[in-house]
Structure 1
């Protein structure tokens, strides 16, 4: 037990190494750009001030979004999806497998659950003791079920899901803007140092290396950001792109695709002025998402638990009508 606990502590410590690497590179780039380039190399005061102003705007937005992506806790299923004490006791006391399955089916009838496991089973996590909301998955690293889980990212040491997916996208976007600005503004001095028009010194090494590092990260970010932009437009997570969500009618990669505009609004919100700020504006609460196969009137986002309570009676019949009482229960599924 002590050895296992020690290994888990070591794993948590080592999981911060990628974050420390990114942080170290960014801090070095700040020193190289502000001091070695702007302070010690650029002689024109107006040019120096303009470069510093734009650079600090990019740096602040990058740091802000990176911080939010790292330290925003993953959203987990609310208590409505957890087995109550009585249900859990009834489930554990029941010895007949079919009766246990029926208990979970009865609980799921009052919840907006439309997806199934690949086997057709109701998705149930026996580790967290919750019925999994649509698009949620259990993360073995975070040891919890995460709402609309996209993937566990080592570079932010966090699960990317409903609570921080917008922040992750903005982090990638501002990272690319940061690299583009550095590459564009450093290029002239890179050439001058390379051909020997500027004197050798510590600034030469920093400027040359800064150019190479910025271009290296820029190429990587272009592919990663482009892929996630495509996922947002299609309303898919990374997990759903590799394994299509399964509904009662079968697998459907476009099951949550409700049109480009509404797909974007689900992630960034209705107010376009807040799209580019790392402020939580995503629609809903991550437990329910509109389905392409259902009418718009029956798939409006349930933004909070109070709205569930208000609409629960009218929705129970529709939701239960989509349930298949013969489905089995998926146990110990882990993504």
Structure 2
């Protein structure tokens, strides 16, 4: 009986660990599939202008688009890697309890005093400096040291999805010029039903599904990106936005510098560009009321 219980616990722990990595696996599969589809469209279908296809500019056009696409893919991948590698938690950070002041709290789970804008994450099982939210897609909190990489990966993901949507739109415009049919409309709206009923091939379903995923993903990432850009400009975290507080806003440029670092104006172009943050994630200049608005 004890062996069965231990075996069940091991199976459950293995499933729990696997589920934690499932969002990362799904996102990776989606990014790879979108990249593969756009690469196919660039190499095999585009340029769509027949006159351009027959000219020497065709190779230059394809090279330019492929370089842009893989530049965005490289930035997404490297920013995501640095985001996961850079922990915003209080582990390894010296918190001097003798200078506890306004905004400091005591965390009974971590058994230590924590500075302002720091809160405990029950998923990460640790307190996080300048905690914004727990990102389920990466399985890590967004906080003080990794906010730049989070924003940059969102930015290039948005640009990559926009690029994919435009490429797919050009192909569909050509299809629409040849005439809209119920079959093509249903393929775009309900590709799963068309596949199950045997109305389309697996290849046509794959392209339609990825095209739909690009549109939906672009809308979701757009909303998420613009929301966080707005928070950065206002000097807020998501938790402070919920309570309608702006006690740490230093002005637009200073707020951007607080998130992206001293080289804020071009560090977002590449994650390898060093850009040290002006603060330490512990002490913050208070410019407004710390109490939530009624």
**TM-score bracket, shorter-length normalisation:** 0.7 to 0.9
Indicate the larger mover: 235-244 or 68-77: 68-77
Instruction: Give the alignment's TM-score, normalised by structure 2.
Output: 0.75
Q: 1:30 — aligned with what?
A: 35
> Equivalents in 2 of 1:79, 1:202: separation in Å?
53
Instruction: Give the alignment's TM-score, normalised by structure 1.
Output: 0.67
- Is 1:68 aligned to 2:82, yes or no? yes
> Equivalents in 2 of 1:26, 1:76: separation in Å?
32
Superposed displacement of residue 210, structure 1: 3.6
Check whether the contact 1:125–1:131 (CA below 8 A) recurs between aligned residues: yes
Superposed displacement of residue 205, structure 1: 4.8
- Is 1:39 aligned to 2:21, yes or no? no
Question: Which consecutive residues of structure 1, in runs of 5 or more, have no partner in the other structure?
Answer: 83-106, 117-122, 245-252, 295-335
Superposed displacement of residue 27, structure 1: 0.8
Say which of 149, 164, 176 aligns to 1:167: 149
> Equivalents in 2 of 1:114, 1:239: separation in Å?
18
> Equivalents in 2 of 1:133, 1:171: separation in Å?
28
Q: 2:139 — aligned with what?
A: 157
Indicate the larger mover: 188-197 or 216-225: 188-197
Q: Deviations over 1:74-103 (max 9, x none)?
A: 331655427xxxxxxxxxxxxxxxxxxxxx
Say which of 97, 103, 113 aligns to 1:131: 113
Q: 1:259 — aligned with what?
A: 251
| C-alpha RMSD of the superposition | 2.8
What SS does the corresponding residue of 2:106 show, helix, strand or coil? strand
Question: Which consecutive residues of structure 2, in runs of 5 or more, have no partner in the other structure?
Answer: 47-52, 180-199, 290-294
- The change in CA–CA distance for 1:147 and 1:260 in structure 2 (over 3 A counts) is same
> Equivalents in 1 of 2:288, 2:177: separation in Å?
62
> Equivalents in 2 of 1:134, 1:4: separation in Å?
38
Q: 1:119 — aligned with what?
A: none
> Equivalents in 2 of 1:210, 1:275: separation in Å?
27
Q: 2:183 — aligned with what?
A: none
Check whether the contact 2:89–2:126 (CA below 8 A) recurs between aligned residues: no
Q: 1:274 — aligned with what?
A: 267
> Equivalents in 2 of 1:292, 1:284: separation in Å?
15
Superposed displacement of residue 50, structure 1: 2.1
Check whether the contact 1:134–1:288 (CA below 8 A) recurs between aligned residues: yes
List aligned pairs for 1:137-216, cutoff 5 A. 137-196=119-178, 205-216=205-216
Say which of 53, 58, 83 aligns to 2:67: 53
What SS does the corresponding residue of 1:131 show, helix, strand or coil? strand
Q: 1:283 — aligned with what?
A: 278
Check whether the contact 1:74–1:147 (CA below 8 A) recurs between aligned residues: yes
Which structure's relative contact order is higher, taking Cα pairs within 8 Å and 6+ residues apart? Answer: 1
Check whether the contact 1:142–1:159 (CA below 8 A) recurs between aligned residues: yes
Q: Deviations over 1:254-296 (max 9, x none)?
A: 21111111111101122223243325532222111121159xx
> Equivalents in 1 of 2:208, 2:177: separation in Å?
12
